[in-house]
Amino acid sequence: MVPHGRPPKTRTRNGCTNCRKSRVKCDGKEPSCTRCWQKGWECQREKITLKWESDYHSRGLAFGREGVWQKATSKKKDNRLMSPEDQKWCRNNPVYPWSFLNQDVSTLQWLYDDERTPGNAYYLNVSSINHGRDRIIESRELSQLCYSPPIFPYPKAQRNAIMMEYFIDQVCPRTTSSVKTASPFTSVILPFCLSGSQNGLIALQALAACYWSQSNPEHAAVAVRLKYQVLGQLRRRISTDPSYAISSDPEILVLVMMLSLYDIVDQCDKGWIVHLKGAKDIIRLRRRNLSDRTSCPVTAFAELFFAFQDVMGRTACAKADLFGPSFWDQNDRSVNPWMGCTPELVYILFSILDLSRNRPRKDSELHQEVDFSMKASVLNRRLGTLAQALADPEDRALQAVADLKQLACTIYLHCALYNAEPTTPIIASLVRKVLQRLSDLLKDNMVINATWPIFVAAVELDPADGQMWPDPITGDPLCGRALILRALATMANSTVSSVARVRCIIEKVWQSRDSDLVTGSSRQQSSRYNDWEWHVVPLSDALSLV
């Protein structure tokens, strides 16, 4: 108990040496306490000393206040030490800066999994630098490789290893319309780069940094630096290697493909069209030099990538084709998970584009108009009877994208070949079907890689259409334009494309249509251009819609 009228005594932990010796309370001021300053003494403080409980117990001493401040009801602590015979020391392995963890929980789980089969087994490379190899690449993908190379076999690729993980975890899943099928960037391009392409790994990292910089600008500098490394290597090879070596090397097409995607994600300007034309020349040279048309999976996917980009982009800008129809099997009705539709649908779309460019004008002869009408009717009938087949009928996301693209292709056919416009009844009906599908997909959060059908429905949406759609989150009624903007905002987080530029063009088309609605003018009827050519084509140069 503290007597009344007296302040309680307190102890300080930072008292100086002079005050401690004199048993006087030190105020602890820096650099000199008040007492030392008044007496002219040198104020010094003892350094903090770490005390270890085991050292005190080994000498038979109490540690700190141990055994002093105890409640009466508590049991007295047993300070007896273990005898040396009962003590067991465990040896710790040394840890060096280059040490790494070769296995993790998933490895142990695999070791004790009774259902594992030899076909699913894969071996961990003990010399691998990466500690999470089994986490980054799935076992079903490693089983396709004949050997297990290090994840980052090149020093330049090790410097930005985090970009490689971002590419695998964030970019690859956004490059396919299916949630059940691995992206070709994961199953084809990634193993190729890991097995012997240093420039390919850096190109993947450059794309990952560019995509990441869209949400985090801190990675923009890394993206630019890696891009120019890849571009420098590509230029050096093109200038030094012979043409037959360039055309036959799959790495060249991989680098051009990554640079194209980089420019599409970055600004979607004419830069990616330059790469597209370069890829066309390389592929054409390769096909001319090689008598055997069979190609490796990397080259086959690269050719598919560029040809598909060419077709989808030409629907907006109406330019001449670069790759031709030979890349599309007009009898293949199996949905490609990466394209989100069948090769036959792409072939029909390609035919619509070519027929639209040869559309007869007012001064054309009668037989030209008859021939055009017959070809348009055949395409329309073929598109209406097209049945797109899925390898997995339970893949709802892929089925939804395939249906949307077939509806969008029908809208484009009527606009390009029959001069239809938003007020045309069939266009209004098809656009409403697309918006209904979008509303349902947004409600289920399944809008994946549907850039092209959203674009087609948006630019052909009637501004006077008062149809309302339920908000997928709040349930409040939304007009068609608001629903499209909501879908684009959702798509920005689920696709590797320039959604920002797509939205910019859509808004400009809407402004143009609103102006025509206010003034009551219909400019396309007084000219030789149809509605699509008047409102969409002038704004859509170098637009990627994949």
At residue 112, the pLDDT reads 44
Paired tokens of 408: 């969008």
Is the CB of residue 19 less than 8 Å from the CB of residue 26? yes
In angstroms, the CA 359 to CA 357 distance is 6
Residue 81: pLDDT band (50, 70, 90) is low
At residue 448, the pLDDT reads 84
In angstroms, the CA 488 to CA 453 distance is 11
Average pLDDT for 419-429 = 95
Q: Is the pLDDT score of 228 beyond 60?
A: yes
At residue 4, the pLDDT reads 54
Summarize pLDDT for 483-527 with one digit per residue, the tens: 999 999 999 888 898 899 999 999 999 999 998 888 876 654 546
Domains and CATH numbers, the chain: 17-53 (4.10.240.10), 159-320 (no CATH)
3-state SS assignment for residue 292: coil
At residue 387, the pLDDT reads 95
In angstroms, the CA 200 to CA 192 distance is 8
Mean pLDDT is highest, among 51-55, 64-68, 245-249, 275-279, for 275-279
At residue 84, the pLDDT reads 64
Q: Could you give the C-alpha distances from 35 to 12, 28, 38, 281, 381, in angstroms and in order?
A: 15, 10, 5, 89, 103
Nearest-CA neighbor of 15 among 3, 1, 33? 33
Percent of the chain scoring above 70 in pLDDT: 75
At residue 94, the pLDDT reads 58
At residue 133, the pLDDT reads 33
Residue 114: pLDDT band (50, 70, 90) is very low
In angstroms, the CA 265 to CA 257 distance is 12
pTM here is 0.72
Q: 392-429 burial string, b = 16+ CB within 10 Å, else e? A: eeebbbbbbbbbbbbbbbbbbbbbbbebbbbebeebbe
Paired tokens of 55: 């050292």
Residues 6+ apart with CB under 8 A from 354: 321
At residue 537, the pLDDT reads 95
Q: Is the pLDDT score of 12 beyond 50?
A: yes
At residue 352, the pLDDT reads 97
At residue 153, the pLDDT reads 54
More confident of the two residues 347 and 97: 347
At residue 435, the pLDDT reads 96
3-state SS assignment for residue 474: coil
At residue 392, the pLDDT reads 92
The lowest-confidence range among 60-69, 384-393, 470-479 is: 60-69
Residues 6+ apart with CB under 8 A from 45: 14, 15, 16, 17
More confident of the two residues 207 and 111: 207
At residue 6, the pLDDT reads 56
Summarize pLDDT for 1-11 with one digit per residue, the tens: 445 555 555 55
Please name the amino acid found at residue 31: P
The lowest-confidence range among 40-54, 70-84, 140-154, 507-521 is: 140-154
Q: Could you give the C-alpha distances from 54 to 58, 63, 64, 79, 295, in angstroms and in order?
A: 6, 9, 12, 11, 70
Residues 6+ apart with CB under 8 A from 395: 178, 179, 180, 181, 337
The lowest-confidence range among 107-116, 229-238, 427-436 is: 107-116
3-state SS assignment for residue 336: strand
Please name the amino acid found at residue 395: D
At residue 49, the pLDDT reads 65
Summarize pLDDT for 125-175 with one digit per residue, the tens: 323 323 333 333 333 333 333 333 445 555 566 678 899 999 999 999 999
Nearest-CA neighbor of 421 among 462, 453, 456? 462
Extract long-range pairs of 424-433: CB within 8 Å, 24+ residues apart: 427/460, 427/462, 428/462, 428/465, 430/457, 431/457, 431/460, 431/461, 431/462, 431/465, 431/480, 432/465, 432/467, 433/407
Q: Is the pLDDT score of 381 beyond 50?
A: yes
At residue 528, the pLDDT reads 77
In angstroms, the CA 495 to CA 546 distance is 9
In angstroms, the CA 222 to CA 230 distance is 12
In angstroms, the CA 58 to CA 432 distance is 84
At residue 125, the pLDDT reads 31
Is the CB of residue 362 less than 8 Å from the CB of residue 528? yes
Average pLDDT for 210-215 = 94
> Phi-psi region for residue 130, left (φ > 0), alpha (ψ -120 to 50) or beta?
beta
Summarize pLDDT for 410-419 with one digit per residue, the tens: 999 999 999 9
CA angle centred on 454, ends 448 and 460, rounded to 5°:
170
Q: Is the pLDDT score of 378 beyond 80?
A: yes
- pLDDT averaged over every residue in the chain: 81
In angstroms, the CA 512 to CA 508 distance is 6
Residue 25: pLDDT band (50, 70, 90) is confident
More confident of the two residues 475 and 298: 298
3-state SS assignment for residue 404: helix
Nearest-CA neighbor of 327 among 349, 301, 304, 356? 304
Count of CA atoms in the C-beta half-sphere (13 A) of 363? 1
Q: Is the pLDDT score of 388 beyond 70?
A: yes
In angstroms, the CA 352 to CA 10 distance is 92
* 3-state helix/strand/coil string of 98-125: CCCCCCCHHHHHHHCCCCCCHHHCCCCC
Distance of CA 342 to the CA centre of its chain: 23
Please name the amino acid found at residue 236: R
Summarize pLDDT for 330-361 with one digit per residue, the tens: 999 999 999 999 999 999 999 999 999 888 87
In angstroms, the CA 186 to CA 175 distance is 9
Average pLDDT for 14-29 = 85
Q: Is the pLDDT score of 72 beyond 50?
A: no
Paired tokens of 398: 């892929």
Q: Is the pLDDT score of 106 beyond 70?
A: no
Residues 6+ apart with CB under 8 A from 535: 459, 509, 512, 513, 524
At residue 275, the pLDDT reads 96
More confident of the two residues 182 and 124: 182
Paired tokens of 307: 């040809």
